[in-house]
Chain A
Amino acid sequence: MSNSVYAVETTDLTRRFGKFIAVDKVSLNVHKGEIFGFLGANGAGKTTLIRMLSGILAPSSGQANVAGYNIYDQTEQIKKNIGYMSQKFSLYDDLTIAENIDFFGGIYGLSARILEERKAALLQKVGLADFSNRLTRDLPLGFKQRLALGSSLLHDPPIIFLDEPTSGVDPKARRSFWDLIYDTCEMGKTVFVTTHFMDEAEYCHRVSILRDGQIIALDNPRALKKKYGKSSMQEVFVHIVKEKDLE
């Protein structure tokens, strides 16, 4: 990891698909240890931005460093320094819990000794130590998500991307998932989250709101609510996005 105080720095980051500009000159600096929220309407460019920052999609123009590595020519280092988890794909249902962890450990190239240590710690942490030989499909969704988050942290990356991680779980599981996110950030890791739950936007240290590929608001939730005279992030979001529509 570099000496910069920022986990991620971008300048005028842009991605075009033909004539369509999916991400349009995005400049942002995200501190180490920050929980940073990406909000935006469907199609606003969140996924494209995350794919670029993960080193799996090359930008059209602009600059970015992720964990101190350049996103044009150091994408392999970036992949080793980030974790990624999404609601849509996280674990293999037809592997056991232990097999899933082994699989991710293998992908991240962990030595057998370190993998065993981290597997035991992870199973303990998510409360599945006695169930490691069960099929993953039989797990309640809340457990699956906690396990998926743990698996994406097996290689101890400084940065993690969570793409709509809590869709569909009950409120209790959702809150305990957020406790895990807070734990992760207290370990000094930087957490990026995309979500359509506006109460989760309130949990972030700072949020950015994307529209048509551009950042149209960026601040901590309290400041944004104050600026727009609204009592919740839900109202702020609807207000900002609609206001831009009228322009």
Chain B
Amino acid sequence: MAAIVIKDFVKRYDTIEAVKGINLSVEKGGLFGLIGPDGAGKTTLMRAVCTLLLPDKGSIHVNGFDTKKDFAQIRSIIGYMPQRFSLYQDLTVAQNLKFFADLFQVPLDEQEIRLAELYQFSRLEPFKNRLAGKLSGGMKQKLALSCALIHTPEILVLDEPTFGVDPVSRDEFWKILHTIREKGTTILVSTAYMDEANLCDRVALFFDGKIQITDKPDNLRAQYKYPLFQIKVKELNPMIDLFNSVKEVHTIQKFGDALHISFYEIPDEGRWENWKNEAEDNLLSREQIEPSIEDIFLEMMESMDE
């Protein structure tokens, strides 16, 4: 059964159509990712799921309740972490956590266990007596997340929870999400970090107010049809010039001191020999690599331009 069902959802701000007709269904107990850059419409969609704004067209149902009329029922089963920092700046880290735990009536013994887990992931324990307003950007984000995770709602909606959060904490945050999901909570999460798509059951690639593709992350990667090579070189620019004039080449991307080149088809050994000779001793090595979600996203953007 689906926990969230979105049908033909449209939202306008003045004359701008921020979301242009979306159909989406999130399974109960699923971990669903909305992947896309700022301005794609992710926040608008999430706010609508949380009953904070009404659709101009279409409908959204959460556990069978209609966001247009059953907002009280929906709000009692949903947990929402907005993008903007919305904690009490003049309370300390520990006081904010305690406030939210009490507000959501988390039993005391459970609070203790949860807090230990959350401090472990957030590394905020050494800062627990610091005022929330005095934390760095990434730390504020981790505190907001911890407050959203202190109780266990049926449905959790997280708007870019890992924005500005460092890789180690992000790693641990996703582990916590997986534990919460195992307890039966449905999670809808948005992110601009493309690599986080791999950690969701299903993802929607979101761009320009529309969902362009919805699938399992593995299936998305399997659909990428261009063989991708990492090519190590001594000097970048002469090699870029060389490959720019090669007809089999689809895209070229600098990657530190290497190049990532996608081809229309896998070049045969003879071609590599040619390029090696042409480059003199500039081409050091090559290796076929797996495409990332970012490669898929770029490809999707290219095909929209055409």
Chain A residues with a Cβ under 8 A of chain B? 40-44, 47, 88, 140-141, 164, 167-173, 175, 178-179, 182, 196-199, 202-205, 220-222, 234, 237-238, 241-242
How many angstroms from the CA of A182 to the CA of B240 in the assembled complex?
Answer: 13
Contact residues, B109-140 vs A (CB, 8 A): 123, 127, 136-139
Q: Of the 9-residue stretches B17-25, B84-92, B248-256, B264-272, which lies at the interface with chain A?
A: B248-256
Which B residue's beta carbon lies closest to that of A140? B39
Q: Contact between A203 and B254 (Cβ–Cβ < 8 Å)?
A: yes
**How close is B221's CB to chain A, nearest CB, in angstroms?**
15
Give the chain B neighbours of A43 by CB distance below 8 A.
123, 127, 136, 138-139
Q: Contact between A47 and B194 (Cβ–Cβ < 8 Å)?
A: no
Give the chain A neighbours of B142 by CB distance below 8 A.
42
Given contacts A170-B207, A170-B301, contact A198 B167 (CB under 8 A): yes
Q: Contact between B192 and A196 (Cβ–Cβ < 8 Å)?
A: no
Q: Contact between B166 and A205 (Cβ–Cβ < 8 Å)?
A: no
Which B residue's beta carbon lies closest to that of A173? B37
Given contacts A43-B138, A141-B39, A168-B192, contact A196 B166 (CB under 8 A): yes
Give the chain B neighbours of A234 by CB distance below 8 A.
167, 195
Does B222 sit at the interface, judged by CB under 8 A? no
Does B297 sit at the interface, judged by CB under 8 A? yes
**How close is B131's CB to chain A, nearest CB, in angstroms?**
14
Q: Contact between B136 and A47 (Cβ–Cβ < 8 Å)?
A: yes
Does B246 sit at the interface, judged by CB under 8 A? no
Q: Contact between B193 and A42 (Cβ–Cβ < 8 Å)?
A: no
Given contacts A170-B301, A172-B298, contact A41 B254 (CB under 8 A): no
Q: Helix, strand, loop or mixed for chain B's interface?
A: mixed
Chain B residues with a Cβ under 8 A of chain A? 36-40, 123, 127, 136-139, 141-142, 163-171, 192-195, 207, 253-257, 292, 294, 297-298, 301
Q: Contact between A171 and B294 (Cβ–Cβ < 8 Å)?
A: yes
Q: Contact between A168 and B168 (Cβ–Cβ < 8 Å)?
A: no
Which A residue's beta carbon lies closest to that of B237? A186
**How close is A39's CB to chain B, nearest CB, in angstroms?**
8
How many angstroms from the CA of A203 to the CA of B260 in the assembled complex?
Answer: 12
Q: Contact between A40 and B166 (Cβ–Cβ < 8 Å)?
A: yes
Give the chain B neighbours of A242 by CB distance below 8 A.
168
Residue in contact with B256 in the complex, picked from A42, A221, A238, CB distance below 8 Å = A221
Q: Contact between B166 and A141 (Cβ–Cβ < 8 Å)?
A: no
Tell which of A178, A220, A221, A238 has the most Cβ of chain B within 10 Å: A238
How many angstroms from the CA of A178 to the CA of B298 in the assembled complex?
Answer: 15
Give the chain A neighbours of B194 by CB distance below 8 A.
171
Q: Contact between B257 and A179 (Cβ–Cβ < 8 Å)?
A: no
Q: Contact between B37 and A42 (Cβ–Cβ < 8 Å)?
A: no
Residue in contact with A241 in the complex, picked from B168, B294, B298, CB distance below 8 Å = B168
* Given pairs A43-B138, A242-B168, 9 additional interface contacts (CB within 8 A): A42-B136, A42-B137, A42-B138, A171-B301, A205-B256, A221-B256, A234-B195, A237-B168, A238-B171
**3 nearest A-B residue pairs (beta carbon):** A42-B138, A170-B37, A168-B38
